Amino acid sequence: MLAALVAALLVPVLAGCGDNTPPSLPVSASMRRVIGTNALRVTGEHAGIGSSAQQASMEAWAAGYGQYQPQAVVAYDPQGSGAGATAFLQGAVSWAGTDIPLTSAQRSRSTSVCGGRKAVDLPVFVSPIAFVFHIDGLRGAHISLSAALIAQIFSGRITWWDDARIVRANPALASKLPHLRITPVWRSDQSGTSQIVSSYLAAAAPGQWTTDTGKTWPYAVGQGAKGTAGVATTVSQAQGTIGYVEKAQTGSLGTVALLQGSTPVLPEQAGASAFVSKAVRGLGTGSASSADASAKVTDLTLSPDYADTSADVYPLTQVSYLVTCPAGASSVSASARGFIGSWLYYIASRQAQDLSAQVAGSVPLPRTLGSRIQQMGRTMLKEVE
C-alpha cells in the first residue's frame, strides 16, 4: 500500500518533473536548417522578464521554439515592463519584454551590459487594444465612438449612454442606447496599455485629453481594476460599463469601433496591421546603407502616429518590444548569443507570428519588419559559428 503510494508519487517526479507534452505546433524544414539542433545546440535556461501583455505569445513561442531546440528552457516572467527593463539593465536577464521602448537614459545605461553598445528595442508583438462595453440591449452590436468622445467619457464629461453626442455618432443605434449611467473602467496598476490608450487620446483628441501620458491612468472617473483581467471582469459585472483591454480579452463583451473620420474601424487584424505597416515605413532603411551592416544594428523603435485618421487603420494598436543587446555586443556570452539569435529568428518568423495570432490573439508583424528582425538574429548566429 505504502509502496504503491510512493511509486504513484514518484512517477511524475521521474517523468521530467511533470512537464507536459506540448501540443504539436507547426514545424518547418527551412526553420530547422537555421535554428535546429543540426545548426546549433542551445541548452540551459534563458529567462526573460517583462510585460504581461506578451505572456500568452511568449508561452506559445517557448513551446514552438522547443520543437527546434528541445534542450533549451525559455522562461518568461510577466512581472511587468518596468521590472523587465530594470532586470535587463542590471544584467539579471539577457532579454526583456516591454510595452514601452527604453528611454534614452535607459539606453545609455544599457552600454554597461551590452559591452559598450546600446541595447535595441525590437517590435515583436502587435495587438489592437479594444474598448469593450457591457449593455445587455446591445448584445452583438458595435458602438462607434471617436477619440474625442472616448476622451470625454473617460474624463467624466459624458456620463450617460444616451448622451446626444453618442447618439449622433451612432444613428443606427439611436433608439437602442439606454438611459444608463456610464461607468468607465481603467487599469489601476501602472501599465503600458494605459500609457498607449492615453497617448492615443492625447494625439487624436488633443482638445479633450490634456493630461500627461504616463503609465498610471490620469482620471479617477468610474472604476480602476487591477490588470487586464480585472478590467474585463469589472466590465462584465455591471451594466453600462466601458473599459480598455487587449483584443484577446474581449471575450463576449461588445467592442467599440473607432471612428476614423466618419468610418467606424473595428479592432481587427487588418486595421492594426495597416497601422503598424505605416509606422514601419517611417523607420527608413536603417543599417543597410552602413559600411558594416552585420555589426551595426539600428534600433527598431516605432513611433506610431496615433493621430492618423485614415479609414484603413486602427490606431489604438499596441506594439510591444523585446529588448536585448545587439549583435557584436562583446559582453554577451556565446551561449546567450546563440540563444538570442535563434530566438529572434524564430519569434519574428511568419510561423511564430501566425501561431501567436491564433493562440494569443495578436496580429502578425508586417513582413518587412519580421524579416529585418530575423536578419539580426542570423547575424548573431553567424557570430557564434
For residue 74, the surrounding DSSP H or E stretch is strand 72-77
Query: 337: which 3 cell numbers?
Result: 548569443
- The stretch near other proteins (CB under 8 A) out of 54-62, 147-155, 308-316, 370-378 is 54-62
Provide the grid cell at 293.
Answer: 551592416
> Shortest approach of other proteins to residue 195 CB, angstroms?
10
Cell readout for 313 is: 487603420
Residue 82 as a binder of other proteins (CB under 8 A): the answer is: yes
Distances in Å between the Cα of 261 and the Cα atoms of 160, 165, 180, 264, 265 are 23, 15, 27, 8, 10
Q: Does 25 bind other proteins (CB under 8 A)?
A: yes
222 binds other proteins (CB under 8 A): yes
366: contact with other proteins by CB under 8 A: no
Residues 332 and 316: their CA atoms lie apart, in Å, by 36
Residues 6+ apart with CB under 8 A from 340: 46, 94, 95, 324, 325, 332, 377, 380
Dig out the grid coordinates for 131 from the structure: 474598448
199 lines the binding site for other proteins (CB under 8 A):
no
Does position 263 interact with other proteins (CB under 8 A)? The reply is no
Pick from 97, 123, 230, 377 the residue near other proteins by CB under 8 A.
Answer: 230
Does 83 help bind other proteins (rule: CB under 8 A)?
A: yes
Residue 220 as a binder of other proteins (CB under 8 A): the answer is yes
DSSP-derived secondary structure for 344-378: HHHHTSHHHHHHHHHHH--BPPPHHHHHHHHHHHH
Q: Is 98 helix (H, G, I), strand (E, B) or coil?
A: strand
Write the burial class of residue 219 (CB in 10 Å: 0-12 exposed, 13-18 middle, 19+ buried).
Answer: middle
Closest to other proteins by CB, 177 vs 232, is 232
217 binds other proteins (CB under 8 A): yes
Residue 93 engages other proteins in binding (rule: CB under 8 A): yes
Inter-axis angle of helices 334-347 and 367-384, nearest 10: 160
Angle between helix 269-281 and helix 367-384 axes, rounded to 10 deg: 60
Q: Quick one: 97 or 328, whose CB is closer to other proteins?
A: 97
User: In the set 39, 141, 167, 359, which binds other proteins (CB under 8 A)?
Assistant: 359
Interface pick for other proteins out of 20, 285, 303, 330 (rule CB under 8 A): 20
Return the residue of 39, 86, 167, 176 that touches other proteins, per CB under 8 A: 86
Least separation in angstroms between residue 89's CB and other proteins is 9
Figure out which of the listed residues 31, 34, 42, 85 binds other proteins, where binding follows CB under 8 A. 85
When the beta carbons of 83 and 259 are compared against other proteins, the nearer one is 83
Segment contacting other proteins by CB under 8 A, of 28-36, 46-54, 171-179, 259-267? 46-54
335 near other proteins, rule: CB under 8 A: no
The answer to whether residue 216 forms part of the interface with other proteins (CB under 8 A) is yes
The nearest distance, CB 379 to other proteins, in angstroms, is: 27
